Amino acid sequence: MKLYPVRGGIHPEYRKEQTSEKAIVLMPMPAALYIPLQQHIGAPAEVLVKEGDLVKKGQMIARSQGVISSPQHAPTSGRIAAITEVAAPHPSGLPQTTIIIEPDGKDEWAVLPEPIADPFAADPHLIHERVAQSGIVGMGGAAFPSAVKLNLGTQKKLDTLLLNGAECEPYLTCDDRVMREYADEVIDGARIMAHALGTPRVVIGIELNKPEAITIMSKAASAFAGVEVIGVPVQYPMGSERHLVQAITGLETPARKLTADLGIVVHNVATARAVHHSVRFGRPLVSRVVTVSGRAIREPNNILTPIGTRITDLIEFCGGFATRPESIVNGGPMMGQPLASLEAPVVKGTSGILALTTEEINDQPTSSCIRCGSCVTICPCGLSPVEMAAFIRKDNLEGAAKLGVRDCFSCGSCSYVCPSHIPLVHYFNYAKGMLSDLERELRKNDRVKTLVEVRTIRIEKAAEAKKAALAAKKTAAAPAATPTVDEEKTNA
C-alpha cells in the first residue's frame, strides 16, 4: 500500500520499552471511586443517584444532557458515599462535581441492556443509541462522545473508517497492548462502527514501531473483507487525525473542516473495543487500560483500571515512586497535561499517567533564539513558530493570528527540538486562549449592539404606533374636518 508524505514531524525518544512488553494487568478495586460528571467534551452529565443509594456495576448514575454529552456508569457495585466537589484531572486542579462510590467488593453487574444479536443487520440508529447509552467517548485522549461521531454517516457521505492505532506519543503502550491482546475485539468493534457509519472500508493505521501489533491485527483482520491494517511511518505526530488521514489517503483536510468532510471518520482502537463490549454484551464503558510509566515509577505497567480510580492509588499499585518525580503528566509527554493533584481520578480519556524525572524532561533554561529554523522545518502544520513566538512576546496577538497560531494544535514538536529551549507551545497556548477571549468579547459586544439596536427600533415603533393611534383617535373625533395645511405638514 502506497503511503503519502506528511510534512515535518520529529523522532523523539520513544521510551516505550518500559511498558511495551508488560501485559495488561487488572487494578484491584480501590477503597473509593471518584466519577466526575464531566469526563468528555460537551455538557456534563446529570446526576441520577443520591447519597446512600446502592448501585450495581454498569448502572447509569448520571445521564447525558443535550446533544454533545455522555452518561456515567458505576464501575463497580457499591454505595454512593457522596456527591461532592473533587479536584479534576486538569492542569488547573479546579474542583468539579464528582460522584464518590464505596465499592462493596462484590463487583456485581446490574441488569444490562440486551446484546444486539446481529449488529450488522441492525439499524445504525440502534447502534448509535447503544454507544451513546454506554457512555463511550474517544479514548485516544480527546474524549469526544463517540456516538456523535458515529452519527456523521447520516449527514455526510462517508467511505472509510480509519482506526487510529498510531500511538505516536512516547511512553504510551496501552493501545499497543490492547491491539496485541484483544485484536479480535478491536476489529469486531471497528466493523460494527463501520456498519453504523455506513462506510464499506475499515483501515487500521499502526506505527511501524509496533510490529507485533501489526502482525496480530493483520491476522485478525484477514478474516474480513474490507478491513486492512497499514503500518505507518514512525513520525510524531502521526496519531494526529488529520495527519494520519493524509499519510494513508493523501487527502489534506481543509482548515475548519473535518476529516468526515473527506469521507473519513477516525476513531481510536480502544474506543472500538469499548463499542464491541457495549454492542455485544451491553456493557457500558466502566474501565480502561492506562499506561503508568516514567522513570520515577517503581514498576511501570499497563493497567486495566476502573474509571474513577485515584491516580495516587494507581501509582501505589505500581509500587509507588522510585525517585521524586519532577512532573506528573496526564497523557503522553508531548501533548499531555500536567497534573496539579494526585487525588484526581482516572477518567475515560486517561491514556497514560507519567511520573517523569528531571533528566527525562530535560527542560533547560531558555536562551535567546538563534533562528536555527528547526521549528519551521519540523512543524507538521506548516507554521513558522519562530515568527509567531516573536509576535506573541510583544503581545502582538493579531500578528500571530495572521500567521496562523490558531491552526496550531500544540503537538509540541517545536518546543521539543528548540535548541534554545524556548517554551513555544506555552506561548501559542497563551495566544490561543487570549484570542478566543477577545473573540468572545467581540461577539458579546456585537450582541449587545444588536440588542440595543433592536430595542431602539422597538421603542421607535412603539412611539410611532402611539402617535398613529393618537392621530387615528383625533381623526375619529373629527371625521368631518378636512386636514389643514399645517396638519398635512405634521403628518409628512
Site for other proteins in 363-402 (CB under 8 A): 363-365, 367-373, 376-377, 379-384, 386-387, 402
DSSP state of 17: G
Cβ closer to other proteins: 209 or 377? 377
Residue 485: all three cell numbers together: 395645511
Give the interface segment with other proteins, choosing from 58-66, 123-131, 186-194, 353-361 (CB under 8 A).
353-361
Cβ closer to other proteins: 80 or 405? 405
Cβ closer to other proteins: 180 or 242? 242
Shortest Å, Cβ 316 to other proteins? 16
Instruction: Considering only residues 166 through 185, tell me which ones interact with other proteins, judged by CB under 8 A.
Output: 170
Q: Which of 32, 43, 112, 361 binds other proteins (CB under 8 A)?
A: 361
Q: Is the dihedral of CA 386, 388, 389, 390 positive or negative?
A: positive
- Which long-range contacts does 46-49 make (Cβ < 8 Å, 24+ apart)? 47/83, 47/97, 47/99, 49/80, 49/83, 49/99
Shortest Å, Cβ 90 to other proteins? 11
Shortest Å, Cβ 187 to other proteins? 26
Q: Which amino acid is present at 408?
A: C
The CA distances from residue 486 to 1, 469, 479, 483, in Å, are 89, 19, 17, 8
Note whether 252 binds other proteins by CB under 8 A: yes
Q: How far apart are CA 219 and CA 240, in angstroms?
A: 25
Shortest Å, Cβ 377 to other proteins? 6
Instruction: Considering only residues 102 through 131, tell me which ones interact with other proteins, judged by CB under 8 A.
Output: none
Q: How far apart are the first and last CA of the chain?
A: 79
Note whether 335 binds other proteins by CB under 8 A: yes
Give the interface segment with other proteins, choosing from 70-78, 188-196, 249-257, 443-451 (CB under 8 A).
249-257
Q: Which of 102, 112, 423, 435 binds other proteins (CB under 8 A)?
A: 423
Q: Which of 82, 251, 322, 435 binds other proteins (CB under 8 A)?
A: 251
Cβ closer to other proteins: 156 or 280? 156
169 closest CA partner among 20, 327, 390: 20
Three-state secondary-structure class, residue 201: strand
Q: How far apart are CA 354 and CA 338, in angstroms?
A: 9
Q: Which of 354, 389, 392, 397 binds other proteins (CB under 8 A)?
A: 354
Cβ closer to other proteins: 33 or 342? 342
Q: Which of 30, 119, 153, 336 binds other proteins (CB under 8 A)?
A: 336
Note whether 250 binds other proteins by CB under 8 A: yes
Note whether 450 binds other proteins by CB under 8 A: no
Q: How far apart are CA 108 and CA 139, in angstroms?
A: 25
Task: Identify the helix (H) or strand (E) that includes residue 34.
Answer: strand 33-36
The beta strands (E) that lie in 212-358 are given as 227-232, 264-268, 287-293, 301-306, 327-330, 337-338, 352-356
- Is 260:284 a contact under the CB 8 Å cutoff? no
Cβ closer to other proteins: 214 or 422? 422
Cβ closer to other proteins: 368 or 484? 368
Give the interface segment with other proteins, choosing from 121-129, 308-316, 414-422, 459-467 (CB under 8 A).
414-422
Q: How far apart are CA 26 and CA 18, in angstroms?
A: 18
- Is 206:217 a contact under the CB 8 Å cutoff? yes
Note whether 410 binds other proteins by CB under 8 A: yes
Q: Which of 64, 76, 98, 327 binds other proteins (CB under 8 A)?
A: 327
Cβ closer to other proteins: 280 or 406? 406
Note whether 75 binds other proteins by CB under 8 A: no
Q: Which of 154, 222, 323, 362 binds other proteins (CB under 8 A)?
A: 362
Shortest Å, Cβ 322 to other proteins? 17
Q: Which of 193, 328, 346, 392 binds other proteins (CB under 8 A)?
A: 328
Number of residues that bind other proteins (CB under 8 A): 76
Q: Which are the contacts of 253, defined by CB distance < 8 A and separation ≥ 6?
A: 242, 245, 246, 259, 261, 262
The CA distances from residue 109 to 29, 46, 113, 121, in Å, are 15, 22, 11, 28
Instruction: Quickly list DSSP for 149-199.
Output: HHGGGGTS---EEEEEE---SSS--HHHHHHHH-HHHHHHHHHHHHHHHT-
300 closest CA partner among 273, 319, 313, 281: 319
Q: How far apart are CA 416 and CA 348, in angstroms?
A: 27
Give the interface segment with other proteins, choosing from 56-64, 202-210, 279-287, 329-337 (CB under 8 A).
329-337
Residue given cell 512576546 in the structure block = 393
Note whether 237 binds other proteins by CB under 8 A: no
Give the interface segment with other proteins, choosing from 6-14, 128-136, 227-235, 451-459 (CB under 8 A).
6-14
Note whether 95 binds other proteins by CB under 8 A: no
Q: How far apart are CA 362 and CA 358, in angstroms?
A: 6
Q: Which of 95, 113, 198, 263 binds other proteins (CB under 8 A)?
A: 263
Q: Which of 67, 126, 255, 442 binds other proteins (CB under 8 A)?
A: 255
Residue 183: all three cell numbers together: 485484536
Note whether 232 binds other proteins by CB under 8 A: no
Q: Which of 298, 429, 435, 487 binds other proteins (CB under 8 A)?
A: 429
